[in-house]
A and B are shown apart, each in its own frame.
Chain A
Amino acid sequence: MDTDPVVLAPDTTVAAAVQSLLDNRLLAMPVVDAQGNYLGVFRKNLVISGVLPQVATHDDRFSQIARMIDAGLLTDTLHDVRARFDLIAQDPVGLHVDKEAPVLHPDQSLVAALFYIYRGRNFLPVVDRSNGRLLGVISAWHVLESMVTKS
């Protein structure tokens, strides 16, 4: 576990948060308030869903939209995408956190960590059950690393 992870404050702008992801080569970061309370996760998908044409993020139960996009609909220029990004760029990141993202607690087993990473998470915040503080993060890298390094 990384006990001193890079975190975002809720009043950071989306633009600054994206720059932070880029600088640290991360795809997601925990959002934590000044007291160290865990608030949620800011993920690349929250930005991408904001810059896609809204209809493409529609719950596509019958894969219809995927088929329409495959057929060539929804052509967009980088200019359009940047224009949509500009609409959210100055929002505080606190408006775009995933509050439902799975978290781990110190008393949980290794399997819980493996399970969520298997389900597609790149990292998992570890949160103190009693006071809601962020204790650190476990990333997919930690898991892979622990397998190849002999203690």
Chain B
Amino acid sequence: MTAPSFALIAGLNPVWVAVGILLLTYAAIMTERLNRAIVALLGAVIMIAAGILTQTEAVSGIDFNTIGLLTGMMVIVSISRKSGIFEYLAIWAAKLAKGSPAGILALLVLVTAVVSALLDNVTTVLLIVPVTLVICTQLKVPPYPFLLSQVLASNIGGTATLIGDPPNIIIGAQVGLSFNDFLINLAPVILVIIVVHTLAIHLIWGRALTATPEDRARIMALDERKAITDVKLLVKSLVVLAGVLVAFVGARFIGLESGTIGMAGAAMLLLLDNAGKTAEKQTESVTHVFNEVEWVTLFFFIGLFIVVKGVEHTGVLQTVATKMLEATGGKLEATGLGILWSSALLSAVVDNIPFVATMIPMIKAMAPAFGGPEGLMPLWWALSLGACLGGNGTLVGASANLTVAGIAERNGISFRFITYTKHAFPMMILHVAICHAYLMWRYL
């Protein structure tokens, strides 16, 4: 630091100032009295104003892979959903189940899991829930089991890939793990959890659901192709989405990072969607797409990265990491399982994104104890599984849960904290226990 900082001038220890800002930011995010983007940005500004970081250092803490990938995917989804592809998928699933409510319940869980492995979880539930409500109204079945199972499935499915859930995007970007790394290491256990989850939902709710033959016949009479409003756009969206996936799988060979791939996909789909339109139409359509980008999420991430960078800069995370290693006796097994369960339990009650952002530099600091960065691999999988799946534990554990609760309440369906937690928390514990066994068997 070149200029005398506020912290030094005031005679305060910069470590405590930085930790204080981090804790205040956490606390303010948890109370939800202020929008989380405002909190994170304020935390970031104070971190710079207090002299913990210079502006250049602060900006270097903003991870472009995370921001670029998130923005790119938001643009791609905003354009492709206009095609009607998601409504098509839902009607297709309902017909595949022959209009049986139990079958539809199970198939929509699978559709949600697969879609959320490729898209952000909140986006997935925003797309799938309204469609589900329409199908439930048509079949005259209670929507609650559908909504609950889909929320859980979106968080489970998202855990399988680099791009499925924000904690994975951050871990992947900051640690330098590829799309394939996530797929190879996490997808197998996620597959098992989804099967267990689908079975549990069927046994608890699905088998008791019934619909009249007339209502089922109405579902079977639907033509899912009518839901597709723009075939050309559908083809363009699928081509770009496939291109993005291929680029992720081959990222090592083409030498592109995830932020660039996300942005490239967005630019390509914007080009395909707008080429040939008049200048005014292009401005209108591009403005509309950018308006749909979730700026609150992006600015929340930007602010948070700077806050964590400030704390990291003071070296305090290194100290905490050393203490954690002492607590686990420096053993990989105890450390890995400790990270899995503590991330899961904490993520059930606090936002998992700031938690993951703080854990990453801490785990990185443990590298020497486990023979370098390679030795940390099991710990990254433990962090990802714990943080992503733990979000299912309570209604406030993940943004997707709150999103669905909001839609449900607006439609007169009770989706409350206590009921949700009573059903979801035991399921979350079961899922994390499966991960525990998987980590022991494969890595520890």
Question: Which A residues contact B (CB, under 8 angstroms)?
Answer: 53-56, 58-60, 62-65, 67-75
Would B138 and A71 count as touching, CB distance under 8 A?
no
Would B412 and A74 count as touching, CB distance under 8 A?
no
Q: Which residues of A sit under 8 angstroms from B407, Cβ to Cβ?
A: 58
Known contacts being A58-B410, A64-B86, A68-B87, is A73 close to B134, with CB within 8 Å? yes
Give chain B nearest CB distance to A49 CB in angstroms.
13
When A and B form their complex, what is the total count of cross-chain residue pairs whose Cβ atoms lie within 8 Å? 67
Q: A60, A71, A74, A75: which contacts B227 (Cβ < 8 A)?
A: A71
Tell yes or no: B298 within 8 A of A by CB: no
* List of 10 A-B pairs having minimum Cβ-Cβ separation, nearest first: A71-B226, A71-B227, A55-B133, A68-B134, A67-B87, A72-B222, A64-B130, A53-B137, A67-B227, A55-B137
Q: Which residues of B sit under 8 angstroms from A75, Cβ to Cβ?
A: 138, 218
Would B130 and A71 count as touching, CB distance under 8 A?
no
| Interface residue range, chain B | 20 to 34
Give chain B nearest CB distance to A104 CB in angstroms.
32
Would B223 and A72 count as touching, CB distance under 8 A?
yes
- Judged by DSSP, the binding face of A is loop
Would B223 and A58 count as touching, CB distance under 8 A?
no
Question: Looking across the interface, which residue of chain A has its beta carbon closest to that of B130?
Answer: A64
Tell yes or no: B229 within 8 A of A by CB: yes
- What is the CA–CA distance of A72 and B88 in the complex, to the nearest angstrom? 12
Tell yes or no: B293 within 8 A of A by CB: no
Would B84 and A67 count as touching, CB distance under 8 A?
yes
Q: Which residues of A sit under 8 angstroms from B84, Cβ to Cβ?
A: 67
Q: Which residues of B sit under 8 angstroms from A58, Cβ to Cβ?
A: 130, 133, 407, 410-411
Tell yes or no: B58 within 8 A of A by CB: no
Could you list 25 examples of A-B contacts with CB < 8 Å? Answer: A53-B137, A55-B130, A55-B133, A55-B134, A56-B134, A59-B410, A62-B126, A62-B130, A64-B86, A64-B87, A68-B87, A68-B90, A68-B131, A68-B134, A69-B134, A70-B226, A71-B87, A71-B222, A71-B223, A71-B226, A72-B221, A72-B222, A72-B223, A72-B226, A75-B218
Would B226 and A74 count as touching, CB distance under 8 A?
no
Q: Which of B138, B222, B229, B410 has the most CB of A within 10 A?
A: B138
Q: Which of B86, B133, B135 has the most CB of A within 10 A?
A: B133
Q: B131, B224, B410: which contacts A64 (Cβ < 8 A)?
A: B131
Tell yes or no: B81 within 8 A of A by CB: yes
- Judged by DSSP, the binding face of B is helix
Q: Which residues of A sit under 8 angstroms from B110, Cβ to Cβ?
A: none
Q: B91, B130, B138, B222: which contacts A60 (Cβ < 8 A)?
A: B130
Within 8 A of A (CB), among B124-172: 126-127, 130-131, 133-135, 137-138
Known contacts being A58-B410, A68-B227, is A74 close to B81, with CB within 8 Å? no
Q: Which residues of B sit under 8 angstroms from A69, Cβ to Cβ?
A: 134
Give chain A nearest CB distance to B124 CB in angstroms.
13
Q: Which residues of A sit under 8 angstroms from B134, Cβ to Cβ?
A: 55-56, 65, 68-69, 73-74
Give chain A nearest CB distance to B220 CB in angstroms.
11
- What is the CA–CA distance of A70 and B225 in the complex, to the nearest angstrom? 11
Within 8 A of A (CB), among B89-146: 90-91, 126-127, 130-131, 133-135, 137-138
Q: A59, A62, A74: which contacts B127 (Cβ < 8 A)?
A: A62
- What is the CA–CA distance of A62 and B138 in the complex, to the nearest angstrom? 20
Q: Which residues of A sit under 8 angstroms from B82, Cβ to Cβ?
A: 62-63
Known contacts being A54-B412, A58-B410, is A71 close to B224, with CB within 8 Å? yes
Q: Which residues of B sit under 8 angstroms from A55, Cβ to Cβ?
A: 130, 133-134, 137, 411
Question: Looking across the interface, which residue of chain A has its beta carbon closest to that of B229?
Answer: A67
Question: Looking across the interface, which residue of chain A has its beta carbon closest to that of B221?
Answer: A72
